[in-house]
Amino acid sequence: MLTNDNILNALKKIDDPERHKSIFNLNMVRNIQVDGTHISLDIILTIQGCSLKTKIQQDIEQTLKEIGASSISIKFDSMTQNERHSSTSSLNSKSALDKDIPKTFLLNSSVKFIAVTSDKSGVGKSTVTNSLAVALARLGKRVGILDADNYGFSFRTMMNTDHKPTIFDQTAIADESDDIKIMSTGFFTKYNQPVIWSSSMLNKWIRNFLVNTVWGELDYLLLDLPPGTGDATIDVVAMIPQAQEIIVTTPQNAASHVASRADLMAQHTKHTILGVVENMAYFENLNGEKNYLFGQGDAEKLADALHTNVIAQIPFAQPDEKTGSFGFDENSILGEVFTHLAKDIIYQ
């Protein structure tokens, strides 16, 4: 027999697919009525036309049929402005010590922050960020990526997602692809148009990403920083003083020489450098021989100058077509390298 109690207990197990909290605890369930084995109820969405309404409906129908409902009628409506504000406050609670920064970003947060940086563009910094995030997620970690490179945003393409983040009451819910949370300027531009902003506008935009984004529960947040040591980069890393840095370079002396400037930025922001990742380090032929197309040894020199280690050497490799343009098979050469890197970071 269907009762309000067993219906409520069933609905408590259904999570909002964007906010990852129970639809019951988020006060989305209203006006439950039972007529024999028919159940009718109202579901209050954060905004009208929520893109995941169909997913919510499917989950409710499946769950209620499992407890004996023969038919379900669901009426959808949207929250009032006050309800959205209350929901936002509960999701992104602020510390009394710092009203601007969500508790996720405070010093006592359990989230580990990794800033991926280089003073030179074109060295594969975003690819390293993406691949490391994939490897961490495959090891069971809850991972987010903040694409802070507003001029060179790329994660919307790299993660093969076209879903624009839901925004309500000036708060955005991070998009999700392959179990990785993502926030990027690319979600808010049309047809890959370039961003033509002053540095002050960029800084405000990035700060909004940090302060006004609901990330949910995370173990790691990777920040793909703009190349260089400009205002935008310094502002981001200064907001998260507990972040650690990975310096990405390539074998060419020019790239490693320029990347050494990152040491000064790390000292300025009091960040710890996790190590150096050398991208495009070598090409391995079918016989297993490594060919160092751009020379070798510069990454080690850079690591010595920064008083750290080379923590990964990334080879040239053909992207795996099955896992997307920038994905990789975990059993491939790239997969092994990034899995080892992720494990080193986890168990460091």
Quote the pLDDT of residue 288.
77
Rounded Cα gap, residues 114 and 220, in angstroms: 7
Which residue in this structure is represented by tokens 């109820």?
Answer: 41
Angle between helices 199-211 and 231-239 (to 10 degrees): 20
Quote the pLDDT of residue 222.
92
Q: Which fold has domain 100-347?
A: Rossmann fold (3.40.50)
C-beta atoms surrounding 337 within 10 Å? 20
DSSP three-state, residue 314: coil
- Residue intervals of the chain classified under CATH 3.30.300.130 are 4-88
- Residues whose CB falls within 8 Å of the CB of residue 331, separated by 6 or more in sequence, listed in order: none
Quote the pLDDT of residue 323.
47
List C-alpha distances in Å: 43 to 40, 53, 87.
Answer: 10, 9, 15
b/e per residue 161-171 (b: at least 16 CB within 10 A):
beeebbebbeb
Rounded Cα gap, residues 155 and 114, in angstroms: 16
Quote the pLDDT of residue 324.
43
The answer to whether domain 4-88 has CATH 3.30.110.30 is: no
Quote the pLDDT of residue 308.
86
- Residues whose CB falls within 8 Å of the CB of residue 216, separated by 6 or more in sequence, listed in order: 19, 20, 142, 174, 181
Tell me the pairing of strands 213-214 and 290-291: unpaired
Instruction: Determine the residue type at 247.
Output: I
Q: Phi and psi of 118, rounded to 5°?
A: -165, 150
> Which residues of the chain fall short of a pLDDT of 50?
93-99, 195-197, 321-325
- Residue intervals of the chain classified under CATH 3.40.50.300 are 100-347
Quote the pLDDT of residue 88.
57
Quote the pLDDT of residue 28.
84
Longest dimension (CA), the chain: 76
Rounded Cα gap, residues 167 and 164, in angstroms: 9
Contact status, residue 166 vs residue 51, Cβ threshold 8 Å: yes
Q: Which two tokens stand for residue 57?
A: 């409906």
Where does residue 149 rank: exposed (0-12), middle (13-18), buried (19+ CB within 10 A)?
Answer: buried
